[in-house]
Amino acid sequence: MTLLRSALSAINRITSLQTSKNYPPISIHILSPSGHTLASATQDNCPPLLYPKYALSKAKVAVGLGISSRKFSQKYISTSTSPNPAKISQMNNMAMLGDLACFPGGVVVRNSDNEIIAGIGVSGASGDQDEELASAGALEFTNSHNTPSSFGRPLQNWGQGVGNKNKDSLYP
């Protein structure tokens, strides 16, 4: 299956899960490894002005930095009691200049060689829900029934590091 077909299947999977869980309307953006749009969709009743842009910005983090948008935020915001203003300023500048989102909902899709094959951004629900939906869509790129040999073997895990090397992207 081509990247485009996988992206379109991912949108179908994401919207089906969103509907079944009764999450708010969402916008989805899927980028190729080179940062070009493979597919995007915005559901009816999803606020049209910002959520599509947020979804794109989350996908940009995934392909541009090779990390999830959640990890991007965590990298620069200290969990200690005294945040580092210089790190927060750096993150804000990167976000502004690169049009990057520093909140959950963007995931990286990698093949078995750890190469980025797509970035998925979802926006419109809560950050955790957006990330759950994006991660579900990523499975369309890794399904053994539609994974071309150029993608490598199917991937098995996503998100918060359950059994993967990168701890923030899909990797077996």
Angstrom distance (rounded) from CA 63 to CA 109: 9
In this structure, is residue 167 part of a structural domain?
Answer: no
In this structure, is residue 169 part of a structural domain?
Answer: no
Range of the domain at 142: 3-151
In this structure, is residue 114 part of a structural domain?
Answer: yes
In this structure, is residue 65 part of a structural domain?
Answer: yes
Strands (E), 20-105: 27-31, 37-42
Helix boundaries (H) for 77-126: 85-98
Sheet containing 116-123: order of strands: 37-42, 27-31, 116-123, 106-110
In the block, residue with structure tokens 């895990």: 157
In this structure, is residue 59 part of a structural domain?
Answer: yes
- At 144-165, the pLDDT tens digits run 334 443 333 333 333 433 333 4
The angle, 0 to 180 degrees and rounded to 10, between the axes of the packed helices 85-98 and 69-76 is 150
pLDDT of residue 99: 84
In this structure, is residue 171 part of a structural domain?
Answer: no
In this structure, is residue 100 part of a structural domain?
Answer: yes
Q: Collapsing DSSP states into helix, strand and coil, what is residue 106? A: strand
* CATH for 78: 3.30.450.150
Residue 68's CB: how many other CB atoms inside 10 A?
A: 30
For the chain, 172 residues long, the average pLDDT of each consecutive 10-residue run is 90 97 98 96 93 96 94 78 77 82 93 92 97 96 50 38 40 34
In this structure, is residue 159 part of a structural domain?
Answer: no
Longest dimension (CA), the chain: 49
pLDDT of residue 154: 36
The angle, 0 to 180 degrees and rounded to 10, between the axes of the packed helices 127-142 and 3-20 is 140
The total number of structural domains in the chain stands at 1
At residue 7's C-alpha, the angle toward residues 103 and 144, to 5°, is: 110
Q: Collapsing DSSP states into helix, strand and coil, what is residue 78? A: coil
In the block, residue with structure tokens 């200290």: 78
